[in-house]
Amino acid sequence: MLHVAVHRSPHAHARIVRVDPTEARGRPGVVHVLVPSDVAALGRLPLLVPHASLIAPACPEILPQEIVSYAGQPVALVVAESAAQAEDALAALQVDYEPLPAVASLDDALRSDGPRVHPGGNVASRFTQRVGDAAGELARAPVVLRQRFHLHRGAGMAMETRAIAARWDGDLGQVTVWSTTQAPQILRRLLARYLAMPEHSVRVVTQDIGGGFGPKAIVYAEDILVPFLARALDRPVRFVETRREHLLAVTQERDQWHDVEIGLTREGRIVAVRDTFVHDCGAFVSWGVIVPILTSVSVPGPYRVPNYEVTLTAVYTNRVPVTPVRGAGRPQAVFVMERMLDLAAERLGIDRVALRMRNLIQPDEFPYDVGLISRDNSPRRYDSGDYPECLRRVAEAVGAADFAAERERAARGRTRDRNRLRALRRRYRSGAL
C-alpha cells in the first residue's frame, strides 16, 4: 500500500511560478510526485448542478495549472511507502508562488475596483423571484420594518475525516475504490470519466463513512487522483485526510448578508416581504447555486406571504468552496424570517406566538403553492401539515404563557446574584476572606 500526502496552496490567491519535484522525489520512501502538469489533460471537475442564472460558472481544475484560488487548494501529491514518509517529503517539494490580491470577504467581493477571483468577475449569479407586488405593498403597508443580518461561515466538521483507498487490477482492467463519499454512484460516474474507463469497471464501496453532513457528498480532486495513481503505479494507494486538512479544505457554508423588509397591518398580518441578500460561494461553484436558491425560496417558510420579492447575488471569494452543509441555505432563511417576526411583534405590541398564529398557513389550504420555483426547478408546494397545531403544542410545552413571570424571576435571581457578589466583595475587602 502506498500513501499520499497533499501539498496545498499556502495562499488564498496566487500564481504558480514553478513546481520542482526533484528534491522530493529523492526523499526516502518516495515513489512518485504528481505535479499539476501531469494531469493538465484531466481538466476541471464538472458543474454538477447547472442553473440558468450562472454567469461563467467556475469549477476547480483537478490540479491548478496556473492560479490557486483558496488557501488549502491541492496543488501536488507525494506518494510514498508510508504516510509519514509522504508527509516528510512534502517539505522538500519546491512550489514557488507569486501572491495575488485576495478576495477574503463579501465586502471585498462586492467592491467594483477590488480584486477578482476569476477573470469573469466576482458575481456568480444574480436573479430575482417575485410573488405579487412586494415593492408596491411595502410602500402602502401601515408598518414596515427593515433589518440587516450577517450570517457567518460554519462547517459540517465530521468527527471522521475523509479517506480514500484504491486498488487497480491490471489483469481485469478494474479499479476498486473505498471512499468516504456520501454519493458513491456520482463518484463512480466521474471516475469512469476521468480514468476513461467503462462504469462497470469502476467499483465504489462506502460502508461506514462516519459523519457526512453534506461536505462528503462532494467529489474532491483527491477522489479522482488516488485511483488515478493506483492505476498509474499499479499499487494500492491510500489517502487519509488530517484534521487540519479537513478544516482547511473541506467545503463549508452559511456566509450571507441579508437586507430584509417586512410590511404588516397593525393587526399583525404580513402583507409583504422583500429580501435582498449576498451569498458567499467561495472560490468555485461545482454544486451550482443550490444553497442560495434554497435560502431564497425558504424565507416565507410556513407563513402566508402574499407579496414576496427576493434578489440573490452569489459571489466568489478566495475561500474554500461553499456546498450544502446540513440544512443547505435554509437555516439562514429561517433565521431571517423568524427574527423579523419577533421584531415585528415587539413593534406592534403583539404576543410573539399570537403574531405567528395569525400568519401561519392553515390546515385547509393544502396543497399550498408558495409561488416560487425551487432548486429542483419545480414549484415550491407544501403537501400537508397542521402548522398551528404544532405551534400551539410547542408553546404549551415550553411554557410560553409563563414567559413574563419567568423573566421576572430571572431578573430577581440576577439581583440576588449581584447582592451576593457585593457581600463577597465587602468580606474580601474587610479581610474576612
Partner 1 sequence: MFVFSGTSSQGQAHETTLAQIVADGLSVPLEQITVVPGDTAGIPYGVGTFASRVGVLASTSAAYAAAEVRKKALAVAADHLEAAPEDLTLEDGRVTVRGTPGRGLALGDVAAIATAPRPGYALPGAMDPGLEASGYVHVPQSTYSNGAHAAVVEVEAETGTVRILRYVAVDDCGVMINPLVVEGQIHGGIAHGIGNALIEEIVYDPAGQLATGTLDGLRAATRHRRAVTRGASHRDAVPAEPARRQGRGRGRHLPAPAAIANAVADALRPLGVEVCEMPLTRERLWRRVRAAARD
Site residues (CB under 8 A) for partner 1, limited to 109-168 = 147-155, 157-158
Closest CA to 312 of 359, 368, 251, 372: 372
Binding of partner 1 by 46 (CB under 8 A): no
CA atoms within 13 A on the CB side of 401: 4
Query: d(Cα 213, Cα 331) in Å, to the nearest integer?
Result: 14
Binding of partner 1 by 200 (CB under 8 A): yes
Q: Rounded to the nearest whole angstrom, what is the least distance from the CB of residue 18 to partner 1 in the complex?
A: 22
59, 104, 123, 145: residue in contact with partner 1 (rule CB under 8 A): 104
Query: Which residue bears the cell 454544486?
Result: 287
Q: Rounded to the nearest whole angstrom, what is the least distance from the CB of residue 205 to partner 1 in the complex?
A: 5
- Nearer Cβ to partner 1, position 173 or 210? 210
3-class DSSP state of 229: helix
- Nearer Cβ to partner 1, position 96 or 342? 342
Q: Which region, left, alpha or beta, applies to residue 96 given φ > 0 means left and ψ of -120 to 50 means alpha?
A: beta
Q: What is the DSSP string of 283-330?
A: T--TTTTHHHHHHHHHTTTTB--SSEEEEEEEEE-SSSPB---TTTTH
Query: d(Cα 56, Cα 285) in Å, to the nearest integer?
Result: 10
Binding of partner 1 by 217 (CB under 8 A): yes
CA atoms within 13 A on the CB side of 172: 10
Q: Which of residues 295-354 bind partner 1 (CB under 8 A)?
A: 302, 317-320, 324, 326-328, 330-332, 334-335, 337-339, 342, 346, 352
- Nearer Cβ to partner 1, position 129 or 206? 206
- Nearer Cβ to partner 1, position 157 or 348? 157
Q: Rounded to the nearest whole angstrom, what is the least distance from the CB of residue 176 to partner 1 in the complex?
A: 9
Binding of partner 1 by 400 (CB under 8 A): yes
Q: Which of residues 67-86 bind partner 1 (CB under 8 A)?
A: 70-72
Question: Quick one: cell of 391?
Answer: 405551534
Q: Rounded to the nearest whole angstrom, what is the least distance from the CB of residue 293 to partner 1 in the complex?
A: 11
The DSSP call for residue 362 is: P
Binding of partner 1 by 252 (CB under 8 A): yes
Please list, in sequence order, all residues whose beta carbon lies within 8 angstroms of the beta carbon of residue 35, skipping any fewer than 6 positions away.
19, 21, 63, 76
Query: Which residue bears the cell 423588509?
Result: 261
- Nearer Cβ to partner 1, position 20 or 206? 206
Q: Rounded to the nearest whole angstrom, what is the least distance from the CB of residue 310 to partner 1 in the complex?
A: 17
Q: Which stretch binds partner 1 (CB under 8 A): 15-23, 101-109, 269-277, 306-314?
A: 101-109
Query: d(Cα 115, Cα 378) in Å, to the nearest integer?
Result: 37
Q: Which of residues 357-396 bind partner 1 (CB under 8 A)?
A: 363, 374-376, 378-387, 389-391, 393-395
- Nearer Cβ to partner 1, position 215 or 263? 215
Q: Rounded to the nearest whole angstrom, what is the least distance from the CB of residue 4 to partner 1 in the complex?
A: 21
Q: Rounded to the nearest whole angstrom, what is the least distance from the CB of residue 399 to partner 1 in the complex?
A: 8
Please list, in sequence order, all residues whose beta carbon lies within 8 angstroms of the beta carbon of residue 330, skipping any fewer than 6 positions away.
294, 295, 298
- Nearer Cβ to partner 1, position 30 or 285? 285
C-alpha dihedral sign at 189, 195, 201, 202 = negative
Residues 113, 119 contacting (CB under 8 angstroms):
no
Say how many residues touch partner 1, by CB under 8 A. 99
Residue type, 12: A
- Nearer Cβ to partner 1, position 66 or 346? 346
Q: Which stretch binds partner 1 (CB under 8 A): 55-63, 78-86, 197-205, 264-272?
A: 197-205
The DSSP call for residue 217 is: G
Binding of partner 1 by 227 (CB under 8 A): no
